[in-house]
Amino acid sequence: MFEEVSPQFTFAEKEKQTLAFWRENDIFQKSMEMYKDAPPFVFLEGPPFANAPPGVHHVLARIMKDAVCRYKTMTGHYVLRKAGWDTHGLPVEYQVEKQLNITNKAELEAYGVQNFIEKCKENVFQFEQDWREMTERIGFWVNLDEAYITLSNDYIESVWWVLRQAWDKELLYQGHKVQPYCYRCGTTLASHEVALGYQEVADPSIFVRFPLKNRENTYLLVWTTTPWTLPSNVAVAVGEDYDYVAVEEHNGQQLILAKECMPSLFGDEPPQIVETYKGTDLRDWEYEPLFDSGEHPEKSHYVVTGDFVTTTEGSGLVHIAPAFGQDDYDIGQKYNLPLVQLVGADGRFVSEVKESWAGEYVKDADPQIIENLDGRGLLFKATEYTHQYPFCWRCDTPLLYYARESWFIRTTAIRDQMHQHNQEINWYPEHIKDGRFGNWLENNIDWGLSRERYWGTPLPVWACDDCGHQHCVGSIAELKSLGTDVPDDIELHRPYVDDVVLNCKKCSGTMHRVQDVIDCWFDSGCAHTAQWHYPFENKELFEQAYPADFISEAIDQTRGWFYSLLATSTLLYDKPAYKNCLCLELILAADGQKMSKSRGNTVDPWTILDEQGADAMRWYMFTGSPPWAQRTFKIDGVDEALKKFMGTLQNVYSFFVMYANLEQIDVLQDTPPVAERTVVDRWILSRLHTLIDGVRDEMENYQLTNAPRAIEAFMRDLSNWMSVAPATVSGVQKAGPDKQADYATLYEVLVTVVKIAAPFVPFGG
């Protein structure tokens, strides 16, 4: 006798019973044990943050991963599913700062770095139980009890080893990076933080005469909206192919500017054009410095060319101060220009400045600088320029784009290898390879690794206080061998590692750690290696698990985890860390915006899991649109999936059970061979095996929407078959082998469909 469907049946309640059965009988672990000697299929989990509760948009990635892993297990593979947790970085720091009402660096350090770090640890797993419950409830089989955790000593030690490999290959170096910087808080901001604080402001817009050398009464006409950067000027940039003119003013002076900019500067009464040039003609022309910027060995104060110069506003000549802008810094590197930094980390002009604005905040100094230029006859025009400018979202201070001393990974040195390895990866959808990801690699710059933060993997570089010699530590054992009084249980976080003093091998002096921590993306990008604490242990496990056969995350990870995995694996092993990458588009809220906690437009997954159930939500997400197509999440779409597929499957089963029990049919006994069954029976079985082949083909190619849609189409054919085939629906009493064959056919179809659909709806409806 078959179990009949209870009138009180709900999918959500049935799923809870199934979960209890899995848990009580350790089904996940038994499935792993069953396939331990099978060919491996390697899955690498992208670690989520657990410092905020999961939303429904987090479900998508987890079920996509689960479907592939379940499918591979069902096709005879051993799929190790090790979970991971991302634990370092800004989200945790900011959460703690808000809790403690800390608004700047000084307040944080007054609270105590050690106290702050301990608070960060407390917050990391604040919602870990929520993530665990959601993961289990949606049927994602992954080993959460043996997860890799980026804050653990084992993980950090492996990251240190990776950095040591970069150091030994001369790919880790110290330089400068222009970053948005809040001088009040004393810290740089990440791009997503900058986006929080834009305000419309009116800044000075001034046109300044730069006097040319060896050309009496001739000036370059240069535009800027940041007068405070002019004392640090070292060059002027023009566009190579633009047309430039020398025009004569009423006082006999000549100004050089872009021809296209004349109407906006002179209106209906343009001055006489004396000479014309191409931008390349102006290259290397020298001019007199506006202010004394100090002595430096590099050549400065001459004209260079840059592709960022425009003529849509301004004068077509751009003032270059490499310490205060990314384009400026890049062109400074190209031409070996000096890095003149006359502004301190407190946002004030340094005391070495000889003018009246020494010690002033930069924005407060603008009027004095403009007055100085005007008094010397160098100010051509001064107005105001209204535009969007970034402010610190925490303290409302205008940000400075400021060159900070930073540490870099020289990824430009391995760019060609990364390009090559990208071609070895199967991307889904395929256009990501040479499109979004390929373009990102094409424009690759060196990785700005260091962060002036507290909660993260400490940069393992020590510098000598006496001779300046630097050394990168690659393991705890090395730290103990070089350091004095290093505790056996040393924790590899600030401030504990900051207290470790090393002996300098060059001069026998003392060495202290560079205080920066590293970009948390580097942490997660080392997951292919650090999850095993390689090379310190698990060598065999690592070799079996590298490279991963499959990874999957949202499309925004092309510049995040997908890139960091490829960069670190190329640096270490000169081969990609993964073979197949499934890119998922973002889920939009009902308002059409990206779902995020900060916008308040997320959907609590439990409202759906408790009502419609996990299988219905999973089926909706799989069949609604391809994973790489942007989608708007609609709860009524889950309802439709519940009725359209789950309901149909349930109805077919109910009819089968009711009539099979009524007829007391034993579908496993005395069943005629397929060749002796009716045409319609043979047709539906043929259709079933075509479905099996089709689903396997789609799944082998990571078409996780085509496969379940094919199952859905088959269910429509099954409904048609039932209308002409057995008595199980019509109630017509049939005798002989046909009746037995009909029941056996329907039983085989139902069991097989549930198996085929299991990767997508593991609770089985």
Instruction: Write out pLDDT tens, residues 541-562.
Output: 999 999 999 999 998 898 889 9
Of 278, 594, 644, 734, the catalytic one is 594
Of 47, 211, 231, 576, the catalytic one is 47
Residue 192 falls inside a structural domain: no
Domain CATH number, residue 390: 3.90.740.10
Of 597, 634, 643, 755, the catalytic one is 597
Mark whether 155 and 212 lie in a shared domain. Answer: no
Q: Is 561 a catalytic residue?
A: yes
DSSP symbols for 701-743:
TT-TTHHHHHHHHHHHHHHHHHHHS-HHHH-----SHHHHHHH
pLDDT number for residue 732: 43
**511, β-bridge pairs:** 464, 502
Domain CATH number, residue 123: 3.40.50.620
| CA dist., res. 655 & res. 4, Å (int) | 9
Residue 8 falls inside a structural domain: no
Q: Is 86 a catalytic residue?
A: yes
Q: Is 165 a catalytic residue?
A: no
Residue 365 falls inside a structural domain: yes
Of 531, 557, 612, 740, the catalytic one is 557
| 414's tokens | 């391995």
Domain count, the chain: 4
Could you say which DSSP state residue 360 is in?
S
Residue 482 falls inside a structural domain: yes
Of 66, 86, 366, 742, the catalytic one is 86
Backbone angles phi, psi at 475, to 5 degrees: -165, 165
* 3-class SS of residue 676: helix
| CA dist., res. 562 & res. 542, Å (int) | 19
Mark whether 155 and 223 lie in a shared domain. Answer: no
| CA dist., res. 273 & res. 257, Å (int) | 11
Taking Cα atoms as reference points, which of 649, 445, 516 lies closest to residue 5?
Answer: 649
Q: Is 47 a catalytic residue?
A: yes
pTM of the model: 0.86
Non-local (6+) Cβ contacts of 210 within 8 A are 219, 220, 221, 222, 236, 287, 288, 290, 378
pLDDT tens figures, 292-348: 877 888 999 999 999 999 999 899 999 999 999 889 999 999 999 999 999 998 999
| 349's tokens | 């002009």
Taking Cα atoms as reference points, which of 252, 238, 230, 400 lies closest to residue 314?
Answer: 238
CA atoms within 13 A on the CB side of 51: 18
Mark whether 275 and 377 lie in a shared domain. Answer: yes
Mark whether 268 and 350 lie in a shared domain. Answer: yes
Q: Which of 515, 539, 559 is the last residue of a domain?
A: 515
The two beta strands, 218-224 and 254-258, are parallel
Cis peptide bond prior to 576, omega within 30° of 0: no
Of 393, 455, 521, 619, the catalytic one is 521
Domain CATH number, residue 703: 1.10.730.10
| CA dist., res. 18 & res. 9, Å (int) | 13
Mark whether 641 and 698 lie in a shared domain. Answer: yes
pLDDT number for residue 283: 95
C-alpha dihedral sign at 11, 13, 14, 19: positive
Task: Note down the domain range covering 37.
Answer: 24-167+521-585+601-610
Mark whether 526 and 510 lie in a shared domain. Answer: no
pLDDT tens figures, 451-497: 888 999 999 999 999 999 999 999 999 999 999 889 999 999 999 99
Mark whether 209 and 103 lie in a shared domain. Answer: no
Mark whether 355 and 383 lie in a shared domain. Answer: yes
Q: Is 521 a catalytic residue?
A: yes
Residue 625 falls inside a structural domain: no
Residue 14 falls inside a structural domain: no
Residue 16 falls inside a structural domain: no
Residue 440 falls inside a structural domain: no
**649, β-bridge pairs:** none
Mark whether 259 and 140 lie in a shared domain. Answer: no
pLDDT number for residue 615: 94
Q: Are 252 and 320 in contact (CB under 8 A)?
A: no
Mark whether 81 and 44 lie in a shared domain. Answer: yes
Mark whether 536 and 501 lie in a shared domain. Answer: no
Mark whether 487 and 577 lie in a shared domain. Answer: no
Residues of the chain with pLDDT under 70: 1-2, 5, 191-192, 596-599, 724-737, 765
Of 161, 223, 455, 561, the catalytic one is 561
